[in-house]
């Protein structure tokens, strides 16, 4: 994981959203990072140091002149050790001080001493985010290379509705991973399909499968972190959209086909991770089918989206997925040959704990140049990065792999 062994500083300022920073510390620790928390004086009015000391397992920095500090100049030593500094929530006051170099407490002094990336997650109320002074401060910070996230929009503590809510923990961590990770997909447009499709039988019933969309969504998030522009064509799932992706929701295989064809010309890499239904009803009943008698459905094949993409000239680099239950390698090689894709990612969905609906996966990667690589069981989030790295390596090594037919 990208945060394993990383040293982070989390600054917390005086906002009602300060309580959410506790969840952020817990998640950063779960991902393997060491976290030192620095609280402003006003932050301590909302959440006390003991909370963060318990969650981080470390002393909390609250005073620029703390006599208990282990270093003579604690803020400088801490800034030099940190791989990144995150401030969440970052109030309008903190943004102004950071933009203009004010260093009047431990946190703002720490920001001036920062050597690594700085990420600020704003939270404020009452239209403050749109005030010209805040707009100017954010612009100045971004020009200097500081990552300032957009706040979420919704109901604020005052009861007003608008931009100013602290971004969700997931969005903050994704932005942090992007700052700390490689940007080897910068300039790329990655088109990902994910989830199942639903082929209607009547107004209330449909044919589908067990795909949760987790693998495709993990690939979309990983591509975003690595600098790509991402379009995610998604069948129905219970997953939150990856922050920063253009999400195109679809239901049926035909809708997915239309969405993919609409966006494929702009893509440099297409990853078909969706579990598209193989069959659809020949005729969809206009009303709910009733009765307990035996029912025979006439089924016809759905569109072969992967095959259609492979036949295009020119076309982007094309990655397909195959879910198998027996003779996995033989069936995978046959599909690679039949579909004409560049890379095929194959997994055995008959195994417990991997594949459909699971958080882990274990795959075999084949490519049309004869390469074969088995990846061990791992979380889908980690596997997504492994797949993307493998795809980039294959594409770089194969002279005809960038844009087939061009």
Q: Which residues pair with 199 in a beta bridge?
A: 207
Q: What is the mean pLDDT of residues 375-403?
A: 87
CA dist list (Å): 8 to 130, 267, 313? 30, 35, 47
- For 184, the token pair is 């080897």
Q: Are residues 129 and 207 in the same domain?
A: no
pLDDT computed for residue 49 by the predictor: 96
Count Cβ atoms below 10 Å from residue 5 Cβ, excluding itself. Answer: 10
Which residues are part of the catalytic machinery? 209
Q: Are residues 248 and 285 in the same domain?
A: yes
Query: Quick count: other Cβ atoms within 10 Å of Cβ 73?
Result: 13
Q: Does residue 403 form part of some domain?
A: no
* Residue 1 domain-assigned (yes or no): no
Is 404 inside any structural domain?
no
Assigned domain for 43 exists: yes
Strand, coil or helix: what is 66?
Answer: coil
C-beta neighbour count of 269 within 10 angstroms: 24
Other CB atoms within 10 Å distance of the CB of residue 227: 15
Is the confidence at residue 402, as pLDDT, over 60? no
163 CB-near residues (< 8 Å, 6+ apart) = 129, 130, 150, 151, 152, 153
Residues 282 and 144 in one domain: no
CA dist., res. 116 & res. 111, Å (int): 10
Domain count, the chain: 2
CA distance 62 to 65: 9
- The b-or-e profile of 184-203 (16+ CB within 10 A means b, else e) is ebeebbbbbbbbbbbbebee
- Tens-place pLDDT, residues 203-246: 999 999 999 999 999 999 999 999 999 999 999 999 999 988 99
Residue 405 included in any domain: no
- Asked, for residue 102, whether it belongs to a domain, the answer is yes
Report the C-alpha gap between 7 and 30 in whole angstroms.
13
Q: Indicate whether 100 and 121 sit together in one domain.
A: yes
Q: What is the CATH number of the domain that holds 158?
A: 3.40.50.1950
User: Would you report the helix, strand and coil content of the chain in percent, each value rounded to 5?
Assistant: 35, 25, 40
Of 180, 213, 248, the last residue of a domain is 180
pLDDT digits (tens, 9 = 90+) for 256-297: 999 999 999 999 999 999 999 999 999 999 999 988 788 899
Domain span holding position 267:
189-397
On the question of pLDDT at 368 being above 70, the answer is yes
End position of a domain, from candidates 128, 163, 180: 180
CA–CA–CA angle 146, 147, 151 (5° rounding): 135
The answer to whether residues 212 and 300 belong to one domain is: yes
Percent of the chain clearing pLDDT 90 (strictly above): 78
pLDDT mean over 340-366: 89
Residues 176 and 195 in one domain: no
Residue 269 lies in a domain: yes
In a shared domain, residues 148 and 217: no
* pLDDT interval class at 352 (50, 70, 90): confident
Instruction: State mean pLDDT over 373-393.
Output: 94
Q: Residue 386's domain is classified under what CATH number?
A: 3.40.50.10300
User: How far is the C-alpha of 25 from the C-alpha of 60, rounded, in Å?
Assistant: 12
Which residues make Cβ contacts (< 8 Å) with residue 49, sequence separation at least 6? 37, 39, 60, 62
Residue 405 confidence (pLDDT): 42
**CA distance linking residue 244 with residue 40, whole number of Å:** 30
**Same-domain check for residues 200 and 154:** no
The last residue of a domain, from among 180, 210, 237:
180
Provide the β-strand partners of residue 367. Answer: 343
Residue-wise DSSP of 363-404 = EEEEETTS-EEEEEEEEHHHHHHHHHHHHHHHHHH-TT-SSB
pLDDT in tens, 89-104: 999 999 999 999 999 9
Asked if 176 and 196 sit in the same domain, the reply is no
- Predicted confidence at residue 357, as pLDDT, reads 86
For residues 204 and 143, membership in a common domain is answered with: no
Q: Whole-prediction pTM value?
A: 0.84
The tens digit of pLDDT for each residue in 53-77 reads: 999 999 999 987 665 555 545 567 8
- My answer on whether 223 and 346 are in the same domain is yes
* Opening angle at CA 312, ends 220 and 307, nearest 5: 70
Supply the pLDDT for residue 298: 95
**Cα–Cα distance, 325 to 350 (Å, whole number):** 5
Q: Any alpha helices (H) in 278-320, and if so which ranges?
A: 305-311
Q: Are residues 171 and 293 in the same domain?
A: no
Domain presence at residue 91: yes
Task: Write down the pLDDT at residue 206.
Answer: 96
């Amino acid at each position: 994981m990208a945060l394993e062994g990383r040293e982070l500083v989390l600054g917390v300022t005086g906002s009602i959203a300060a309580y959410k920073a506790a969840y952020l510390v817990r998640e950063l620790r779960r991902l393997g990072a060491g976290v030192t928390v620095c609280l402003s004086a006003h932050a301590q009015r909302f959440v006390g140091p003991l909370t963060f000391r318990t969650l981080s397992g470390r002393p909390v920095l609250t005073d620029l002149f703390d006599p208990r500090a282990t270093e003579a100049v604690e803020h400088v030593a801490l800034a030099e050790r940190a791989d990144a500094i995150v401030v969440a929530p970052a109030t309008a006051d903190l943004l102004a001080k950071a933009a203009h170099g004010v260093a009047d407490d431990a946190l703002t002094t720490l920001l001036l001493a920062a050597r690594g990336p700085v990420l600020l997650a704003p939270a404020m109320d009452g239209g403050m985010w749109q005030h010209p002074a805040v707009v100017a401060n954010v612009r100045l910070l971004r020009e200097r290379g500081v990552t300032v996230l957009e706040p979420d929009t919704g109901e604020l503590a005052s009861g007003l509705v608008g931009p100013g809510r602290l971004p969700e923990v997931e969005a903050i961590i994704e932005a942090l991973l992007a700052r700390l990770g490689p940007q080897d997909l910068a300039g790329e447009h990655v088109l990902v399909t994910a989830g199942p499709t639903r082929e209607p039988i009547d107004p209330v019933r449909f044919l589908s499968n067990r795909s949760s969309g987790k693998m495709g969504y993990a690939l979309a998030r990983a591509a975003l972190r690595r600098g790509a522009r991402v379009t995610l064509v998604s069948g129905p799932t219970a997953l939150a959209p990856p922050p920063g992706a253009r999400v195109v929701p679809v239901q049926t295989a035909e809708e997915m086909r239309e969405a993919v064809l609409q966006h494929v010309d702009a893509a440099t890499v297409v990853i078909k991770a969706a579990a598209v239904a193989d069959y659809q009803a020949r005729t969809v009943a206009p009303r709910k089918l009733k009765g307990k008698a035996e029912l025979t459905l006439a089924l016809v094949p759905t569109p072969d989206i992967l095959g259609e993409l492979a036949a295009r000239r020119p076309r982007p680099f094309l990655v397909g997925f195959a879910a198998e239950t027996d003779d996995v390698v033989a069936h995978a090689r046959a599909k690679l040959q039949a579909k004409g894709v560049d890379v095929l990612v194959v997994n055995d969905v008959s195994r417990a704990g991997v594949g459909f609906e699971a958080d882990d996966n274990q795959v075999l990667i084949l490519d049309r140049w004869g390469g074969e690589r088995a990846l061990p069981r791992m979380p889908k989030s980690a596997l997504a990065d492994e797949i993307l790295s493998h795809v980039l390596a294959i594409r770089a090594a194969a002279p005809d792999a960038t844009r087939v037919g061009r």
